[in-house]
Chains A and B, each alone.
Chain A
Amino acid sequence: MNGLHGIIFAYEKEPGLRELVEHRMPASVPFGGRYRIIDFMLSNMQNAGITDVGVVLHGNYQSLLDHLGSGKTWDMSRKYGGLRLLPPFADNRKYQSEEFRGKMEALAGVRSYIEEIRQDYVVLSDSDLIINLPIDDVFEAHLASGADITCVCTPNLGRTENATYFHLDPDGRVAATLCDPHTPEGYQSLEIYILSRELLLRLVDECEAQEKSSFRRDVLLGMGEKLNIRSFIWEGLAAQLRTVKEYYDRSMALLDPNVAGALFCPERPIQAKEDDEASSYIAPESRCVNSFIADGCIVEGMVENSILFPGVRIGRGAQVRNCILFKNVTVSENVTLSHVIADKSVLVRTGGTLIGHENYPLTIARDSVV
């Protein structure tokens, strides 16, 4: 399928993710033992046959650039098209220093790129979403329904910060759009939208001329009467990660084999940048249960209900429960950890005890020595 082009917005900061986004954008926050959040959307696009994807950047995107590289991981290192990184364009001085106020402003910042898109249709997505969505099915539904815009939404209402909700007509048309309401109701938007390139360009120009910056406020809400906006209902797993608590809960949910099985279904694999680690070693007299263990780990202590990223070391006598340990974390001998999220290369020295709570997991910033 070559008719669809992907645009991923990776400019938004999520202060709710606290230490996890101190050095990186939400898109490159590690998730699920060996992935970054953006891997899910890029893989969804790859699995739907999309070859050309633009990633709209702003802010602290160093770690994201490092992760995306040439796009080879998703087969998007191409002679024509492929993965394009879109920092605020140099010739457009007004977007240089200030953060984009909304998607429409971000798109106006990369207008010349949109003009050159080869495909007739575009799928827009955020980069804080964990999902394994058959985007080709959404595209098919979009073409079949004749909608101007198709919005992917879920009936499972989360407690997501700053979320968008829809009221739907019986025939699936979006009747009303609610922005960040006090009480969630209707269907929650997953912020994935399909529309034609032509309409997108028209909307970008119209919004720019009227100093309008937001897709949901100025397009979905503001033009809801004029446009045929329809829904695509996704009942499977979908998680917008905007707070540490949500990040933690959604990570831990993976330890249910049914949840992990659906997210990592072999028909639509999620691709991650290769880490070139050997198999993990589980030592004698260790105990390692109900946990994800990425490659390159050495486990000599006890690990329960936890997620270990590549290269984690768990020393003798250590007890790790309900934790998420990022790449190259070292837990020394006789350390006790519970409900802790330790960022990259954290070292917990011998004998320490760190206890977080289910409702407030303890987050340790990158490279800390505890």
Chain B
Amino acid sequence: MKKECIAMLLAGGQGSRLYVLTENMAKPAVPFGGRYRIIDFPLSNCTNAGIDTVGVLTQYRPLELNRYIGNGQPWDLDRNDGGVHILPPYQSATGATWYKGTANAIYQNIGFVDMYDPDYVLILSGDHIYKMDYAAMLAHHKREGADCTISVMEVPWDEASRFGIMNVDEHDTIVEFEEKPKNPKSNLASMGIYVFTWRKLREYLIADENDAASSNDFGKNIIPTMLADGQKMAAYRFDGYWKDVGTLDSLWDANMDMLAQGSGLNLLEKRWPIYGRSTSAPPAYLGADSHVEHSVVTRGCVVEGTAENCVLSERCTVGRGAQVEYSILMPGAVVEEGARVSYAIIGENCRIGAGAVIGCAPERASEAWGITVVGPETQVPEQYRLAANRMLNRDLKEVVR
């Protein structure tokens, strides 16, 4: 059946800047915020905004992600007509290629989009934490009669040179796009969320594919070309919480934003719920001698020790006498008796052996400081010392970040 708007979610990138966390899984499958995974945010936004058809483009290590998405039921995306579809690259009569870039990934799935014959297509990323009403953005796109609408947010001027910056006229029509400009003329940064009029995008995808020089990327090719051709490009201003969690530091920051009152990231607020696939664990148990402060705890947690300024995900254990501060324990992580974890991200199902010391506070670092990271499934031996700014993977291979 014809749909007015469908979403295409780019979830195929390697997420190489998350290093050990994405050695075995795609970035959108990385756990976030206690009981979610990153992809829960765009999927929940879709379902809350009434978009019932979502194509998820996968390529890098998709197994965990595929299992997690399943039939889409946690997000109400198990539909008779539409729903969530996993779209890996596939073979055709003329051969097979991997997704060469973001635009090529959509190009290879023109057939999928055409099945729903939509007027508009929403392009989303699988590495952003935010709550956004795509229906409002779509309404803006229609009102402006735009060919493409890009959602933008104001960033601090001194950070503007790290973003793709949109220069707009008095009607918020985009007149110029600059990728990471040295001297930004505006502080409106692209959030990597686009609404296209499908008929128009289809033409540009085909033209882009025929251009051998193109790197087949939305930001580098499609958007600049459409702009140069004088297509109507509208900016849609967003002023809520939004964070790209593509790096270890930003992933840690965004988790900590759950604790900060003024951050704007409020997952306990129920008007725009975020859904996730659930597990059957009992409620969190905080033991008689535990001390938990300024932290979030999740079903299945057992805390006998101390946790301050932490995100404790599902089924985490903090043993007696263990101390965890300013850290994220991903689902199933265990910190055994007497171990200390500071300013760290501990991956899924890790075990931090008794008495081990992981990371340290910035003021106590002897060399270059940074967040310490232990990859998923790592069994850290008792009394192990992992200094600040280091990463450890499941083979106990230690590297400086």
5 smallest beta-carbon distances between A and B, as pairs = A279-B34, A33-B283, A278-B267, A279-B296, A294-B283
Q: Say whether A91 faces chain B, with CB atoms less than 8 Å apart.
A: no
Given contacts A276-B275, A289-B288, A289-B290, contact A282 B295 (CB under 8 A): yes
List CB contacts (< 8 Å) of A336-361 with chain B: none
Max count, chain A CB within 10 A of own CB: residue among B36, B268, B274: B268
Beta-carbon contact of A295 and B299 below 8 Å: yes
Max count, chain A CB within 10 A of own CB: residue among B34, B289, B290, B297: B297
Interface size grouping (class) on chain B: 35 or more
Q: Say whether B86 faces chain A, with CB atoms less than 8 Å apart.
A: no
Beta-carbon contact of A280 and B293 below 8 Å: no
* Given A270-B280, A292-B282: 14 more A-B contacts, CB < 8 Å: A33-B282, A257-B285, A277-B268, A278-B36, A278-B268, A279-B33, A281-B268, A282-B296, A283-B293, A283-B294, A288-B292, A290-B286, A307-B283, A309-B283
Q: B73 — nearest CB in chain A belongs to which residue?
A: A72
Cross-interface CB contact of A292 among B285, B294, B313, cutoff 8 Å: B285
Q: Say whether A197 faces chain B, with CB atoms less than 8 Å apart.
A: no
Beta-carbon contact of B283 and A278 below 8 Å: no
List CB contacts (< 8 Å) of B239-287 with chain A: 258-259, 267-268, 273-276, 278, 280-287
Cross-interface CB contact of A291 among B35, B268, B275, B286, cutoff 8 Å: B286
Given contacts A257-B285, A276-B273, A298-B268, contact A281 B259 (CB under 8 A): yes
Chain B positions within 8 Å of A260 at CB level: 282, 285
Beta-carbon contact of A278 and B274 below 8 Å: yes
Cross-interface CB contact of A280 among B273, B282, B284, B302, cutoff 8 Å: B284
Beta-carbon contact of A272 and B285 below 8 Å: no
Q: Say whether B298 faces chain A, with CB atoms less than 8 Å apart.
A: yes
Chain A positions within 8 Å of B298 at CB level: 279-280, 295
Q: A295 — nearest CB in chain B belongs to which residue?
A: B299
Max count, chain A CB within 10 A of own CB: residue among B74, B258, B282, B295: B282
Q: Say whether A134 faces chain B, with CB atoms less than 8 Å apart.
A: no
Cross-interface CB contact of B268 among A257, A293, A296, cutoff 8 Å: A296
Give the number of chain A interface residues (Cβ < 8 Å): 37
Contact with B along A14-48 (1 / 0, CB 8 A): 00000000000000000011100000000000000
Chain A positions within 8 Å of B285 at CB level: 255, 257, 260, 291-293
Chain A positions within 8 Å of B311 at CB level: 279
Cross-interface CB contact of B293 among A271, A278, A285, cutoff 8 Å: A285
Beta-carbon contact of B295 and A289 below 8 Å: no
Max count, chain B CB within 10 A of own CB: residue among A72, A270, A281: A281
Q: B309 — nearest CB in chain A belongs to which residue?
A: A284
Chain A proximity of B284: nearest CB distance (Å): 5
Cross-interface CB contact of A269 among B33, B280, B288, B313, cutoff 8 Å: B280
Beta-carbon contact of B282 and A264 below 8 Å: yes
Beta-carbon contact of B296 and A281 below 8 Å: yes
Given contacts A279-B35, A282-B292, contact A292 B268 (CB under 8 A): no
Chain A proximity of B262: nearest CB distance (Å): 14
Chain B positions within 8 Å of A33 at CB level: 282-283
Q: Say whether A160 faces chain B, with CB atoms less than 8 Å apart.
A: no
Beta-carbon contact of A288 and B282 below 8 Å: no
Contact with B along A58-86 (1 / 0, CB 8 A): 00000000000000100000000000000
Chain B proximity of A239: nearest CB distance (Å): 15
Chain A proximity of B73: nearest CB distance (Å): 8
Beta-carbon contact of A289 and B289 below 8 Å: yes
Task: List 15 A-B residue pairs with CB atoms under 8 Å apart, sorted by A's residue number.
Answer: A255-B285, A257-B302, A269-B280, A271-B280, A278-B33, A278-B268, A279-B33, A280-B284, A281-B295, A281-B296, A282-B293, A288-B286, A288-B290, A296-B268, A308-B283
Chain B positions within 8 Å of A278 at CB level: 33-36, 267-268, 274, 296
Chain B positions within 8 Å of A269 at CB level: 280-281
Chain A proximity of B114: nearest CB distance (Å): 32
Chain A positions within 8 Å of B289 at CB level: 289
Q: A283 — nearest CB in chain B belongs to which residue?
A: B294
Chain A proximity of B317: nearest CB distance (Å): 11
Given contacts A276-B273, A282-B292, contact A293 B282 (CB under 8 A): no
Report how far A298 CA is from B267 CA in the complex, Å: 12
